[in-house]
Chains A and B, each alone.
Chain A
Amino acid sequence: MPMNAQKSVLGTLGSRAWITTVWAVTIFFVINLLALIATVMTSSFGTRWLGTWLPAGWTVNWYASAWEEFQLGDLLTTTFEVVFAVVFLAGLIGIPAAYALARREFTGKRIVMLLFLLPLLVPPVTYGIPLATVLYKTGLGGTMSGVILANLVPALPFVILVMVPFVEQIDPRVEDAARVFGANTFRLFVHVLLPLLLPGALAALLLVLVRTIAMFELTFLTAGPDSQTLVVALYYAVFAAGVRAIQSIDAMAVVYMLTTLVWLLVALRFVNPTQMVTRAKRP
């Protein structure tokens, strides 16, 4: 018994140290992450910030100047036009497709599933360059429609891959029952399917919304001056830093953060944070 007691004491010490290290690393990461976000916030509200812990004074003027300089009003309009168009089309095309894939077995289904999986696995830059080339050839490059179409390429499969398992867990006998009780296709859809699909569809579309706001590469490669979204404009502003005051760029970054985070918070009411990465990415 003493042997054993000694062993378990050593065991506890070792595991204590291990646990402490793991938490220390986690906390270090989280603190730096939050500090990074706080830096942007602080800077956007600061008057002059050079060589001190905090800015010399506080102001909201940078927001006004950023609004002017970067035409944030137009940018926000464009961003939401693009994003909502993508969400609407992805839902309109993706949800019926997901329903068909969940309910029917047909020859070639595996290939179709692979077709929907690939745009989520291949990095956007890789297929974005040939896609942009094609769009510019057809005159869609640099236009709003081009940006929307390009963003649909990952958004549509995302909706489908989130929705397929969701539809699968709805018992098909519910639909049969509705048919037996005399519902025609339209009524079946409105009274039975729609309410059942709604929670999953809402989650999928909110996730697409958040992802599309933050989708840099595809928009960057396909957008023209009039079809830029906020994240692309932010990139250009940071890229050309020095032309404008850093606080002004930070103010713009905060506006971008808010547009994303508001939707993220809405989305997190319906989905688990883990689902932001797993649902579609897990083959």
Chain B
Amino acid sequence: MSATFQSFKSLRLDRVGRDFGRHNALKEIDFSIERGEFVALLGPSGCGKSTALNCIAGLLPTTRGSIWLDETRIDVLGPEERGFGMVFQNYALFPHMTIRDNVGFGLRMRGVARAEAGKRVESALATVRLTDQADKLPGQLSGGQQQRVAIARAIVIEPPLVLMDEPLSNLDAKLRLEMRQEIRRIHAGLGSITLYVTHDQDEAMSLADRIVVMRAGEVRQIGTPEDLYERPLHLDVADFMGYRNRIPCRVLTRSGGMASIDVAGAQLEGSIRGTLVGDEAVAAIRPDDLCVADVGLDAVVEACEYRGHNFFGSARGPGGVELFFRSPKRVDFGTAVKLAAEPAKVLLYDGAAT
């Protein structure tokens, strides 16, 4: 089956939807991925990203729409007929089989000849650097090793598409960073599509060529990590990408993509994002970009902590809004400061929408 998929070019989701009873878990998902791409599905828990992944894998039937691998419609096939590799959040290693048998399972199901299968299993184990653990049972391995077995098991079948469902969420911080490198390296070696589900924007940005941001069963924005980081289209995407400051404000004048705004008497310049119709707006600023300056928003410092290179603090701003800022020097509790950001770093969104 997978043989017909070997020379595929792209995976396409065409208005895919999924309901659980009356709950609309996935509304209408539309996107396509080219061969060789590493794409992350990013969103808070319950946003439908795992549902989307399970629909693509065939573990959940879709309610609406279709999924295509080039010109082949695959959403009508069972999971065992799609030939995709999947890495599960809890690894889902078969506890009664050795590591070698776990990795070889997919080849066995495909009826690959024993000698050929053996060779491929060895090479997959070498890729994840577990050759010397091959005869152990999964229970004897550490979390990180189990994770690598799960990856080896998924890639050994040379799938057109590797699906990963929050594969690093059960590992500790240090191991997570190491495994990111591994996953990126393995992806580069495979040349197929990797679709990676995560709720960690940092992980998504460091791994993916493109990120699909989801919220409440909908795709909110698709773009490169730089795109999303610099130019989030919606306030909720901005929020998710680390724009912690969300300041309600009023638009005074606009010119081109820029506008000047009023925050309880103080004035700032910002760049308009999305559709900004009325006068009510929300300014989103990253804590990194909001600095102590000579002119800007009046605020009283409430906390300040050192995080290497810089101090980061929080302050009570105009109208009682909480502001997060960066400062090269320590500022004491209760100090009155002025906070400002470059106009390009102040993103203005429609205040009526969330």
Residues of A within 8 A of B (CB): 1, 4, 8
Please determine whether B1 and A4 come into contact, CB atoms closer than 8 angstroms.
Answer: yes
Please determine whether B1 and A8 come into contact, CB atoms closer than 8 angstroms.
Answer: no
B90 to chain A, nearest CB (A): 21
- Give the residues in chain A near B78, CB-CB below 8 Å: 8
- Give the residues in chain A near B1, CB-CB below 8 Å: 4
- Give the residues in chain B near A4, CB-CB below 8 Å: 1, 77, 81
A103 to chain B, nearest CB (A): 27
- Give the residues in chain A near B81, CB-CB below 8 Å: 4, 8
User: Other CB < 8 Å A-B pairs besides A4-B1, A8-B78, 6 of them?
Assistant: A1-B4, A1-B72, A4-B77, A4-B81, A8-B77, A8-B81
Residue of A nearest to B4 (CB): A1
A162 to chain B, nearest CB (A): 27
Q: Please provide the chain B residues from 1 to 46 with a CB less than 8 Å away from any CB of chain A in the complex.
A: 1, 4
CA of A46 to CA of B1, assembled, Å: 66
Q: Please provide the chain B residues from 72 to 107 with a CB less than 8 Å away from any CB of chain A in the complex.
A: 72, 77-78, 81
CA of A145 to CA of B202, assembled, Å: 70
Instruction: Count residues on chain B whose CB falls below 8 Å from chain A CBs.
Output: 6
Residue of A nearest to B1 (CB): A4
CA of A1 to CA of B76, assembled, Å: 12
B52 to chain A, nearest CB (A): 24
- Give the residues in chain B near A1, CB-CB below 8 Å: 4, 72
- Give the residues in chain A near B72, CB-CB below 8 Å: 1
CA of A4 to CA of B73, assembled, Å: 13
Give 8 CB contacts A-B under 8 Å: A1-B4, A1-B72, A4-B1, A4-B77, A4-B81, A8-B77, A8-B78, A8-B81
CA of A204 to CA of B130, assembled, Å: 47
CA of A4 to CA of B72, assembled, Å: 13
- Give the residues in chain A near B77, CB-CB below 8 Å: 4, 8
CA of A4 to CA of B4, assembled, Å: 12
A7 to chain B, nearest CB (A): 9
B138 to chain A, nearest CB (A): 23
A16 to chain B, nearest CB (A): 15
CA of A8 to CA of B1, assembled, Å: 13
What 8 pairs across the A-B complex have the smallest Cβ distances?
A4-B81, A4-B1, A8-B78, A8-B81, A1-B72, A1-B4, A8-B77, A4-B77
CA of A8 to CA of B4, assembled, Å: 17
B61 to chain A, nearest CB (A): 13
CA of A1 to CA of B81, assembled, Å: 11
CA of A120 to CA of B1, assembled, Å: 52
A13 to chain B, nearest CB (A): 15
- Give the residues in chain B near A8, CB-CB below 8 Å: 77-78, 81
CA of A149 to CA of B9, assembled, Å: 76
Residue of A nearest to B81 (CB): A4
CA of A4 to CA of B3, assembled, Å: 13
Complex interface bits, B63-74 against A, C-beta within 8 A gives 1, otherwise 0: 000000000100
B8 to chain A, nearest CB (A): 14
CA of A8 to CA of B77, assembled, Å: 9
CA of A8 to CA of B76, assembled, Å: 10
B5 to chain A, nearest CB (A): 12
CA of A1 to CA of B1, assembled, Å: 9
Residue of B nearest to A11 (CB): B78
- Give the residues in chain A near B4, CB-CB below 8 Å: 1
B139 to chain A, nearest CB (A): 20
A34 to chain B, nearest CB (A): 30
CA of A51 to CA of B114, assembled, Å: 68
CA of A195 to CA of B204, assembled, Å: 46
CA of A8 to CA of B79, assembled, Å: 12
Residue of B nearest to A3 (CB): B1
CA of A2 to CA of B1, assembled, Å: 12
CA of A1 to CA of B73, assembled, Å: 11
CA of A8 to CA of B81, assembled, Å: 10
CA of A108 to CA of B121, assembled, Å: 47
A11 to chain B, nearest CB (A): 8
CA of A1 to CA of B4, assembled, Å: 9
A6 to chain B, nearest CB (A): 13
Residue of A nearest to B73 (CB): A1
CA of A229 to CA of B77, assembled, Å: 61
Residue of B nearest to A12 (CB): B78
A110 to chain B, nearest CB (A): 22
A8 to chain B, nearest CB (A): 7
A90 to chain B, nearest CB (A): 37
CA of A4 to CA of B83, assembled, Å: 13
CA of A1 to CA of B42, assembled, Å: 34
A126 to chain B, nearest CB (A): 35
A156 to chain B, nearest CB (A): 35
